[in-house]
A and B are shown apart, each in its own frame.
Chain A
Amino acid sequence: MMEEAQRGGYLPLTMQSCIRYLKDRDQQDLAAEIHPLGMGHEFSEDPDAQGRQIDAAEFFRWQFTEDKGSQALDYIEAKFSTFEVIEHFGSTWKLKVSRDDYSIGWLFGMMEDIQAKYHISEYSVAQTTLEQIFNNFALKAEQEQGGYARRRYSQRRSSKKNKDRANLIE
């Protein structure tokens, strides 16, 4: 990737070239996250430090993880009637999906099937526990009182979903 970036004239990396790199690969969603409050905030620069160089290896790692994760998520999302990202940090995603008619065994099978394709290093599948139900209520209460961070992420995810739908219609 690095060599390819070298040839493409993106190196040395700055915030602008990161964004250009992502946009050229049709990863607008990721490019939009390079923002002081976005998932890629470590690659955004504050106005005082214009032209700061970005560690290219870090950037490509992030891009790889987010890209593969997003593909895996899209795959899983298509299988279930409801789908929700509970949490995402670093390279981990926590998802909540509907039961539909799937057994837990089927879910393990599905994960095994896609493990290699999306470079999944670890996964777990579990039935919702009381703890999660409780946390869900607590989270809702927190949001009503103006919980900021998680709401922002779920909004992003749902706006992405809507955008995907719009693209499909086109």
Chain B
Amino acid sequence: MVNKEASELPVRMLTVKKDYGRLRAVRKISFGLEYGECFALLGVSGAGKTTLFKCLTGETRPTAGEVSVCGSDVATTAGWQEARSKIGYCPQFDAIFEGLTVLEHLQIYAALKGVRSDIREELIQKQIDDMDLRDYVNVRANNLSGGNKRKLSVSMALLGNPPLVFLDEPSTGVDPQAKRFMWNIVSKISTQGKKSAVIITTHSMEEAEALCTKMGIMVAGEFKCFGSSTHIKDKYGTGYEIEVKIKTLGENEVN
């Protein structure tokens, strides 16, 4: 897929490397995603997930390699400007304004993202219903629970239907019911709508399996495996796990 033209793919990374001084955070990573795909980036802390994310969003420049997002090279300033207008990003730590309400947040972001003013209100209302935030529309962000803050962050990322969505640990701190709700929305925009590509990082295999068409497990800056969950299971999970617990002897049996 990497061999396809950059313009055809929403995400294309070619032999990307990123060093921090002597530490090689990302080593030679290449992959591509198509519209309608949802990709889960998995890995233990320090494996290089966030660095890879930052290379994609243009927050840092890779030491070597090419990164293109929707056909623009994010390493150049012009390309980055172009790419930014196509990205919806939900950072790992909620970037919200404490004094503003849920509605105000969505209004600001809709305006920032350049959503046409005549359809803005309609889209915002739809987003509120989609994310089940109706009861909290007029609640200030600092009074929201952790889970609702997370939902708000995801809504902000999804507003305006960006072709590429980055969600950094979207479901951390979200209750199971709301989590499933969120999964539905994410899979609606990616796999079902076929209009966006979604990249998420997560620690939850359950989430990766429920949502994603592809996943990559990163260890020490490299992909150890890459593919659909069935592919990974077939390749690396050949077998069974048995747990055995031996009876402990009672008081009398010892004698």
Chain A interface (Cβ < 8 Å from any Cβ of B): 1-3, 56-57, 60-61, 64-65, 68-69, 72-73, 76, 80, 82, 86, 91-99, 102, 104, 107, 111, 118-134, 136-138, 140-142, 144
Contact = CB atoms under 8 A, between A and B. Distances in A.
B254 A72 contact: no
Given A82-B239, A128-B233, A133-B237, A93 B244 contact: yes
Contacts of B247: 65, 68, 91, 119-121
Nearest to B230: A130
B245 A123 contact: yes
A69 B248 CA distance: 11
B242 A133 contact: no
Among B208, B225, B243: residue with most chain A CB under 10 A: B243
Given A1-B254, A60-B254, A141-B47, A130 B242 contact: no
A92 B237 CA distance: 22
Contact of A132 (B208, B217, B241, B255): B241
B205 A92 contact: no
A136 B236 contact: yes
Contacts of B224: 137
Interface string B223-255: 011000100110011111111111111010011
9 contacts: A2-B255, A69-B246, A82-B239, A95-B241, A98-B238, A119-B246, A122-B244, A125-B242, A126-B241
Given A127-B241, A130-B233, A133-B232, 9 more contacts: A1-B255, A65-B248, A72-B246, A96-B241, A123-B243, A128-B240, A132-B237, A133-B236, A140-B219
B239 A118 contact: no
Contacts of A2: 254-255
A42 to B, nearest CB: 15
B238 A125 contact: no
Given A97-B239, A127-B237, A64 B249 contact: yes
B133 to A, nearest CB: 31
Contacts of B239: 80, 82, 96-99, 127-128
Nearest to A132: B241
Contacts of A111: 242
Main secondary structure of the interface of B (DSSP, over half): mixed
A97 B242 contact: yes
A93 B243 CA distance: 6
B233 A86 contact: no
Contacts of B238: 98-99, 128
A84 B161 CA distance: 48
Contacts of B232: 130, 133
B83 to A, nearest CB: 30
A98 to B, nearest CB: 5
Contacts of B251: 57
B255 to A, nearest CB: 5
Contacts of A124: 242-243
Contacts of A104: 240
Among B224, B237, B240, B255: residue with most chain A CB under 10 A: B240
A75 B39 CA distance: 42
A130 B144 CA distance: 33
Nearest to B218: A137
B44 interface: yes
B42 interface: yes
A105 to B, nearest CB: 12
Given A3-B255, A134-B205, A137-B217, A72 B237 contact: no
B130 interface: no
Contacts of B248: 61, 65, 91, 121
A91 B44 CA distance: 29
Given A57-B254, A60-B254, A64-B249, A130 B244 contact: no
B228 to A, nearest CB: 11
A129 B206 CA distance: 10
Contacts of A137: 217, 219, 224-225
